[in-house]
Structure 1
Amino acid sequence: MKLYKYLVLISIAITASCSDDYFDVNSSETNPTTTSLAPQYRIQGAIENTTAQAQYRGSREVLGVTQYGSQNVASYYSETWRDEFTTGRYFLWQNAYVYSLPNTADLIVLGEKYNSPNFTAVGKILRAYIFGMTTDQYGDIVVEDTYDGVSSMNITPKFSTQKEVYEVIINYLDEAIAELDKSSAIGLNEEGGDVLYQGNQDSWKKFAYAIKARYLNHLSKKSTYDADAVIAACQLAINSNEFNAQKLYGGSSVSNDIQPFSSGGYGSSRMDYFSDFFVKLLKNPLNIDGADWDPRLTIIVPEAVNGGYEGVVIGRGLAGISGNNFSLGNGGFYTSANSATDMINYSEVKFIEAEARFRKNDLSGAYTAFKAGVLADFEKLGVDAQSTSDYISLLDEKVGATNISLSHIMVQKYIANVLNPETWVDMRRMDYSAEIYHGLQRPENVNLAIFPNDDDWIQAMVYEYNEEDRNYENMPDNDPYVRLTTPVWWNTPD
């Protein structure tokens, strides 16, 4: 059952497109990696590499931007936007193109070869998801010239504009939805490899519609933004926590069975503590005078050794203060060894719908969707019935259809999407507004050489140095003074 993992990793290492080091082998550098293995032996690797490689890396380095977690030392590079950020040593690019996308390409090819369009569909859904995360962090990326499972690989590929990438994403999702309605020779969970939905094709369709809603909603600053299309996708998407797209972890001693951000996980060092911003926001997400508690706080954030719930200021570190005064980043609902990684969940779908309805001035519909999103998050976290009822009563009293705002929607979405790189998309779309995310400030010790003004925030990532060394003629301007400060396409109003 586990044989496919090693075959996949070996084949990927041979054909990797993002580092010359991977080419130091005694076989072809550019041949396709697809083998005689049937697709049921490849699906688990495709899912796990999407979450544990691409999504994890996309989340880890932007913690200093999304401000969920903080380091125990001051001026850490990812919190102050310097060093690796400016030299291209941030590796979402490698994790996407080397470890994750080749698996999806092979699934597409093998699904076609074995008369199993359900596998082709899953390959396209995961491919759309990875392309989406990658373009949202970099802007223009490689799409058409990347590894496709059939052709010899082009190691100096051309870049596609972000607008073109978004068209590819939506096309992949539409094709996948149609293919999931076709009969297939092999079931998705034939060998127990569908660790996301256990072979349920209707659930995969809900997932595809949820991603489609997410990416259509990213266009909120473009003239082509279509709130009705976003709402229509939401209505066909994930409609309960039962269908959340999440990679589950067992919490065992096996490294790939541990939540990456948990103690002992390979990303645990980036979550030394929860951040001051997140803890304060979670104490009073509705920004109500006199309120200082939310029932989700004690579920998400561990209590400090010295008692209470306090977070570390991003970029400051402990500054000579005992770490026992602060809430550890490991051990809460999202950062325990058996915590899941959410790709997209029911709460997010409802908050997407709430935003779309708000933008078309359907305030009653926006509040209904907003409240459903909050309820879904409470249910996911296991908040008790009385606390849930009290909180919803508070929403009805203080918010309601008459007072619903983008701030209400985006703050609750922020809480429901802990450690999801999608949060960085939202923060940029909202222009890092402290009126939307009350209390939001830039990190301390921020890189003033590139970000000299108080309203200067990071907008995109520098392309990886390996890509620049080999493919500089095709890649966009990678000067950090340009890359880090230039908004991506969807964040530029028409």
Structure 2
Amino acid sequence: MKNLYILLIVFTTSVVFTACDDYLDINENPNVATEAPLDGLVMRTTYQTPYNNYRVATSYTNYFVQYFASPNESSPTDTYEEVDYSSRWANLYGTMTDAYDLIRFSQEINASNHEAIGKLMMAVNLAMAADSWGSIPYSAGFSGEIIQPSYDSEEQVYNTLLGLIDEAISLINSGGDAGSPASDKDLIYSGNMDQWLNLAHGLKARYLNHFTKKSSYDPNAVLSAVSNGLEGNSDDAQLTFFDVRNPWAQAAINNDNLVLDGWMSEQIVDAMNGTTFGVVDPRLALITEPFEEDGQMIFRGTPNGAGRRGDGTIQEEVYLETSGFYSSEDAPLILFSYAEQKFIEAEAAFRSDDMDRALGAFRAAIRANMEKVGVDENAITAYFQDKYPDLDGSSLTLQNIMDEKYIALFLQPETWNDARRFDYQYTDFDLPANANLNDYIRRLEYPDTEKSRNGSNVPSIGGLTDPVFWDGK
């Protein structure tokens, strides 16, 4: 794994990124080659995109959806204060710069598969940025000639990213003349373009499903994309190569070293420990470890905004552990999963009144996540029997689908998109203690670095409760 880190560092220092040079504080060196090897750009984008998914989650979405809670009372992220996320903006735009170069260099030699990967990685990072801030620079952002680019509207950005996905599908189907990326440079699918094609359809389903509040929402288009998407857990888009370890494992190690990190929220823990639904979820013990209190083993989370219960001298809450599925040192860093896709299918089928398909997809989604986490067959069967003994197509609700998806997508920033579409109506979900807003947070304030460099183009927003494009009626 050290070799991967060395390769990435060597690649990074040998490439000049030609897009947004001044905009991203990257200065051109005339003594360095401006055209990077395509496989090197594939390595860079397939490494950084899953990491950006992690960075967005660990910085803010985990707290907004109450997967995490700060052990400190009235923590700014817990309580919806305006926080500067300039570093996340830079991460996303840095990766989009790589994707832009991958696309344009691929086009020069008809490397269709490389171009397709670039467009898919561009689409994912664009979506993370637009879903966080709303309108963002894109059309004028990568020419290298404009240091203060104008902003594309959120609707324009979504049209762009859906177009990129459609173009990627066509490119993969066309084959091109340059073959596939080397297996050791594509860090997500090892050059398997069939899996990239499945991912493209799965991502299309995800982003089309964001429009559930809009009159343009078409559940049948979502279901059509799903039908060509991931075929099982083995198709999950995930990163398994790290310079040292999975970054969620670092959060667990930080706790061991008294640098508090990765504390699980009362909301997610109660959803799994039997408090909210009356059924203990077998995944909980595979995600974290209980602690002993009065002779019993306890799973207890931290209330968002309220902070930890005691003085920290003894453990009274649970947090990420290096023994956990998501936070072990070699755990996969998941970008898009088969389980997520099945939940998308369940919701779209529900909204199109195909209740038999919705029920089948709902059960398959839960099973897929449980199998991935490592739940044994007997425990899976018992979970369905205990929690849904009489569930059929006529009794399945959207509440069922969204509550279960919330559990299955633990640590995924996509859950914040779901929370906003669902108006945060998860079972027993409440505003954090000491909240600075009277309603749930729906966007970020634009970064300070963007305001200082490109202030004349930064849109004004009405506040952190103003919905992004797809979240409004």
Partner of 1:336: 328
Q: Distance in 1 between matches of 2:390 and 2:446?
A: 45
Change (3 A) 1:376 1:272: closer
RMSD (Å), alpha carbons: 2.7
Change (3 A) 1:41 1:5: same
Aligned pair 1:132/2:151, yes or no?
A: no
How does 1:290-369 map onto structure 2 within 5 Å?
A: 291-304=278-291, 306=293, 307-322=297-312, 323-331=314-322, 332-369=324-361
Change (3 A) 1:26 1:293: closer
Change (3 A) 1:276 1:259: closer
1:171-204 Cα distance to aligned partner (Å, 9 max, x none) = 1001001101223444434261111111110100
Aligned pair 1:91/2:93, yes or no?
A: no
Asked whether the equivalents of residues 296 and 378 of structure 1 are also in contact (C-alpha less than 8 Å), the reply is yes
How high is the TM-score relative to the length of structure 1? 0.87
Q: Distance in 1 between matches of 2:103 and 2:428?
A: 45
Asked whether the equivalents of residues 107 and 120 of structure 1 are also in contact (C-alpha less than 8 Å), the reply is yes
Change (3 A) 1:195 1:275: same
Q: Distance in 2 between matches of 1:292 and 1:277?
A: 15
Partner of 1:107: 102
Partner of 1:470: 453
Aligned pair 1:406/2:417, yes or no?
A: no
Aligned pair 1:457/2:452, yes or no?
A: no
Change (3 A) 1:34 1:21: same
Query: Alpha-carbon deviation of 1:421?
Result: 0.6
Residue identity opposite 2:89 in structure 1: W
Partner of 1:145: 140
Aligned pair 1:282/2:272, yes or no?
A: yes
1:221-273 Cα distance to aligned partner (Å, 9 max, x none) = 100000100001111111200101111146xxx4465446543479x967442
Residue identity opposite 2:433 in structure 1: E
Q: Distance in 1 between matches of 2:399 and 2:186?
A: 37
Change (3 A) 1:54 1:395: closer
Secondary structure, counterpart of 1:108 in structure 2: helix
Aligned pair 1:9/2:12, yes or no?
A: yes
Q: Distance in 1 between matches of 2:404 and 2:183?
A: 38
Asked whether the equivalents of residues 34 and 106 of structure 1 are also in contact (C-alpha less than 8 Å), the reply is no
Q: Distance in 2 between matches of 1:354 and 1:414?
A: 14
Secondary structure, counterpart of 1:378 in structure 2: helix
Secondary structure, counterpart of 2:380 in structure 1: helix
> Which residue of the other structure, out of 428, 431, 435, is the alignment partner of 1:446?
435
Asked whether the equivalents of residues 198 and 229 of structure 2 are also in contact (C-alpha less than 8 Å), the reply is yes
Structure 1 stretches of 5 or more lacking a match? none
Q: Distance in 2 between matches of 1:154 and 1:12?
A: 20
How high is the TM-score relative to the length of structure 2? 0.90
Asked whether the equivalents of residues 18 and 144 of structure 2 are also in contact (C-alpha less than 8 Å), the reply is no
Asked whether the equivalents of residues 113 and 193 of structure 2 are also in contact (C-alpha less than 8 Å), the reply is yes
Change (3 A) 1:170 1:7: same
Asked whether the equivalents of residues 11 and 40 of structure 2 are also in contact (C-alpha less than 8 Å), the reply is no
1:436-461 Cα distance to aligned partner (Å, 9 max, x none) = x11211111222xxx1x3xx111100
Q: Distance in 1 between matches of 2:53 and 2:434?
A: 28
Query: Alpha-carbon deviation of 1:305?
Result: 5.5
Asked whether the equivalents of residues 41 and 98 of structure 2 are also in contact (C-alpha less than 8 Å), the reply is yes
Structure 2 stretches of 5 or more lacking a match? none
Partner of 2:41: 42
Change (3 A) 1:44 1:90: same
Asked whether the equivalents of residues 125 and 173 of structure 1 are also in contact (C-alpha less than 8 Å), the reply is yes
Q: Distance in 2 between matches of 1:167 and 1:34?
A: 34
Q: Distance in 2 between matches of 1:113 and 1:26?
A: 21
Partner of 1:69: 68
Partner of 1:121: 116
Partner of 2:174: 182
Q: Distance in 1 between matches of 2:354 and 2:416?
A: 26
Query: Alpha-carbon deviation of 1:154?
Result: 1.7
Partner of 2:216: 224
Asked whether the equivalents of residues 200 and 229 of structure 2 are also in contact (C-alpha less than 8 Å), the reply is yes
Q: Give me the identity figure in percent.
A: 29
Residue identity opposite 2:132 in structure 1: Q
Q: Distance in 2 between matches of 1:260 and 1:126?
A: 24
Secondary structure, counterpart of 2:393 in structure 1: helix
Secondary structure, counterpart of 2:163 in structure 1: helix
Q: Distance in 1 between matches of 2:65 and 2:432?
A: 10
Aligned pair 1:57/2:46, yes or no?
A: no
Query: Alpha-carbon deviation of 1:4?
Result: 5.3
Residue identity opposite 1:196 in structure 2: I
Residue identity opposite 2:406 in structure 1: Y
Partner of 1:237: 229
Q: Distance in 1 between matches of 2:398 and 2:33?
A: 46
Asked whether the equivalents of residues 74 and 319 of structure 1 are also in contact (C-alpha less than 8 Å), the reply is no
Aligned pair 1:431/2:431, yes or no?
A: no
